[in-house]
Amino acid sequence: MRRGIFGSLAALSWIAACGGGSTTGVDSGGGVDSGGVIDGGVAIDGGTVAGAPGGPWTAVTLIDDPNVDRPVAHRGNDVVTGMYFETPDKGIIITRQDGLINTRGGAVFLANRNTVTSIAFSGDDNAARPAARHTGSIAFTGLERTPTGYIAMAYATETIASDDGGATFSVRPNAAVDRFGVEATLAYRVTATGTTIVRETGIVSASDNPPGPDAVYQDIWAPFNDPGLPAAQCQRGPRGSNATTPRNSTYVSSDRRFVAYATNPALQPEICISTDGGDTFFPHPLVVPADANNAAPTGVTFTSATTGITWFASRTAGSYLRRTTDGGATWTGIPFPPELANQQIELPAAFFAPDGQHGWLVGFNYTAGKALALRTSDGGASWGVVTDVPDAVFAAGGDKLRSGFALDATHVWLGGDRGLVIRN
């Protein structure tokens, strides 16, 4: 599918959004095996990291919605799916409901380093915030910076956004007509030249407009609906091995030109890469361990136009971690820390500091029955277990880690189940 003519650019002055990246490849290497781990360029015995730089972990507690008619208990219930801190004392945290505990959760919280100060948007009706009303629970999937504020990603059919730098959020239709169904959004990138959305159905849509009622979108990549797709191109969109497509399975660069996603057509794990803004995607197969059962990667992310990682970790199959330093042309197997050998682990999310060197993989160790965090200080070439995270998560009443954010190498936030947020 080729990009067509979009609607005219809205009469707004937009500055560039934050981000980075690019990539492709054929891979080599094994699964969970032993290997060296470094921290600050110094080898660490046993492959562990005593803790993230910046001091011990401290819990940051969510607040409940004070709606007197229908109060909603976010604290201890919601799943923290994303966060962004402009400074240590100015941040936003987003959540989704936990269907087993709270079916009316999901919210956008404003926070500083120690405290969640207010609820900017709730998934449940709240007459105290008429501009931020939304009927029923909501499942926020991620948080994206835009030229004027933020988008709290949820469903493609509507935009829950801030145009005042994050001070307030409101809900509005995303396009002049009902352009989308109730599809979760995997990626959202807004720049001065337009908007790119990747939906869980594997469709990439783009518009010359910023998100909102004036946006006019075109599906520029919809392999399921394009029988004439050349055989050399990817034949399916971002679909994972699970019932739902993981949020981290898609990456879009800051300029929207480079798009990558993980998939596994015909049980062949691969990373599909576009370098033309999503018009065309080409597959790059991954060689994975036999006990991974050819599972598609859980996630893929990049720190520059040349460097990125992709990974898979599951409690039911072999885990693998791969890294590219040539824009995805080749992928190298990266060993997990040796103490994770034969462990059943899950790693839903990865994130990096702006320096591209300090990064984290977070999730849960089912064998040990505790939270799990890995850290790299060399751009993903080696990883160590952050040993003080499990106790910090337990002390805060948390469980599985699902998200994180690094303002820099020493200011890190982790989020997860049971309303967990901790910061170092």
Query: Would 1 be classed as within a structural domain?
Result: no
Token pair 């967990």 is found at 420
Give percent of the chain above pLDDT 70: 82
Q: Which stretch of DSSP H or E encloses residue 185?
A: strand 185-191
- 128 has a pLDDT exceeding 80: no
Query: Would 6 be classed as within a structural domain?
Result: no
Give me Rg for the CA atoms of the chain.
20
Query: Would 19 be classed as within a structural domain?
Result: no
What pLDDT band is residue 21 in, cutting at 50, 70 and 90? very low
Query: Would 12 be classed as within a structural domain?
Result: no
Which residue type occupies 120? Answer: A
Give percent of the chain above pLDDT 90: 59
Query: Would 14 be classed as within a structural domain?
Result: no
Cβ(234)–Cβ(129) below 8 Å: no
CB atoms within 10 A of CB 141: 21
Three-state SS at 372: strand
Burial class (CB in 10 A: 0-12, 13-18, 19+), 374: buried
| Mean model confidence pLDDT for the chain | 82
Which tokens hold the place of 12? 């707004």
Q: 24 versus 319: which is more confidently predicted?
A: 319
How far CA 112 is from CA of 65, 77, 163, 299, in Å, comes to: 18, 21, 20, 29
Three-state SS at 187: strand
- 16 has a pLDDT exceeding 50: no
Cβ(322)–Cβ(27) below 8 Å: yes
What pLDDT band is residue 20 in, cutting at 50, 70 and 90? very low
d(CA 191, CA 26): 31
Which residue type occupies 385? Answer: V
Cβ(212)–Cβ(172) below 8 Å: yes
At 286-312, the pLDDT tens digits run 999 988 888 889 999 999 989 999 999
Tell me which DSSP letter residue 89 carries: T
Q: 243 versus 362: which is more confidently predicted?
A: 362
Which tokens hold the place of 366? 């089912």
Tell me which DSSP letter residue 328 carries: T
Q: 245 versus 90: which is more confidently predicted?
A: 90
- 35 has a pLDDT exceeding 70: no
| Partners of residue 199 on adjacent β-strands | 185
**C-alpha dihedral sign at 245, 308, 83, 376:** positive
Q: How many domains does the chain have?
A: 1
Q: Which stretch of DSSP H or E encloses residue 345?
A: strand 345-352
- 204 has a pLDDT exceeding 90: yes
d(CA 326, CA 296): 21
- 158 has a pLDDT exceeding 90: no
Query: Would 43 be classed as within a structural domain?
Result: yes
Average pLDDT over residues 58-82: 87
At 338-368, the pLDDT tens digits run 999 889 999 999 999 999 999 999 999 999 9
d(CA 47, CA 76): 32
Range of the domain at 380: 26-423
Cβ(252)–Cβ(199) below 8 Å: no
Q: Which stretch of DSSP H or E encloses residue 422?
A: strand 420-423
Which residue type occupies 370? Answer: K
Cβ(72)–Cβ(64) below 8 Å: yes
pLDDT the model gives residue 191 = 94
Domain harbouring 37, CATH code = 2.130.10.10
* 194-199, strands of its sheet edge to edge: 185-191, 194-199, 204-207, 217-221
**Residues shown for the chain:** 424
Average pLDDT over residues 166-179: 86
d(CA 422, CA 424): 7
Specify the range with the lowest mean pLDDT, choosing from 58-62, 230-234, 327-331, 419-423. 327-331
Residue 77, Ramachandran bin (φ over 0: left; ψ between -120 and 50: alpha; else beta): alpha
pLDDT the model gives residue 100 = 74
Query: Would 15 be classed as within a structural domain?
Result: no
Average pLDDT over residues 138-151: 92
What pLDDT band is residue 136 in, cutting at 50, 70 and 90? low
Query: Would 386 be classed as within a structural domain?
Result: yes
Specify the range with the lowest mean pLDDT, choosing from 67-76, 108-117, 203-212. 67-76
Tell me which DSSP letter residue 210 carries: P
Cβ(419)–Cβ(384) below 8 Å: no
Angle at 262 between CA 198 and CA 210, to 5 degrees: 15
pLDDT the model gives residue 39 = 31
**C-alpha dihedral sign at 34, 36, 38, 44:** positive
How far CA 141 is from CA of 41, 77, 104, 138, 184, in Å, comes to: 35, 16, 16, 10, 7
